[in-house]
Amino acid sequence: MKESEIQFKVQVDESNLPKTITWNATDKEGEGLESTKSISLNVWDNLNQSTLRIDLWTDEMSVAEMKRFYIDVIGGMAQTILTSTGDEYMSEEMKDLCDRLVKHINEENAKS
C-alpha cells in the first residue's frame, strides 16, 4: 500500500497571526517547500460526526484573492460531491452559487 504525506509549516508573528505559510507533499510536482498565502483544511471527525476546520491566511492575501480562493474552494467541492456521491443536484446548486458569487464580485469591482 502506498503512503502519502502532506505537510504545512506556518510561521506566526508575536500576535500569533500567520506571517508565512509553506507546504510540501510527497506526491506533488516539484520538490521542496512551496509558499502560499492561504490554506483551508477540513477534516471529518468520525467520533463526533462533525467537521473540523483550519482556515489560515497571511496578511499578504488581499480581500479579492480571499474571495476568489473561496469561490474556487466551493467549485472544487461541487466537483468532489458529484464524483464521490453522484449527486448532480447538490453539485449544480454549488456551481450556481459560485456563478452568483462571481457576478457579485464583478459588480463590486465595477463600482470601484
Number of structural domains found in the chain = 2
Cell reading at 105: 464580485
pLDDT for position 53:
96
pLDDT, averaged across the chain:
96
Tell whether 66 and 110 lie within a shared domain. yes
> Looking at the structure, do residues 42 and 80 belong to the same domain, yes or no?
no
Is the pLDDT reported for residue 30 higher than 90?
A: no
* pTM score of the predicted model: 0.87
- Same-domain status, 46 and 75: no
Are both 51 and 3 inside the same structural domain?
Answer: yes
Say if residue 73 is in the same domain as residue 91.
Answer: yes
Mean predicted confidence (pLDDT) in 85-112: 96
Strands 38-45, 18-25: parallel, antiparallel or unpaired by DSSP? unpaired
Alpha carbons 109 and 85: distance in angstroms, whole number: 36
pLDDT value at residue 112: 82
Radius of gyration of the chain measured on its C-alpha atoms: 17
Mean pLDDT (whole number) for 79-105: 98
Question: Is the same domain home to 54 and 85?
Answer: no
Q: Which residues are registered as beta bridge partners of 21?
A: 10, 36
Percent over 70 (pLDDT), the chain = 100
At residue 62 the predicted structure's pLDDT band, cuts being 50, 70 and 90, is very high
Same domain, 78 and 96: yes
56 and 24 in one domain? yes
Residue in 80, 78, 109 with CA at minimum distance from that of residue 92: 78
Q: Is the pLDDT of residue 87 over 90?
A: yes
The residue segments making up the domain with residue 105 are: 62-112
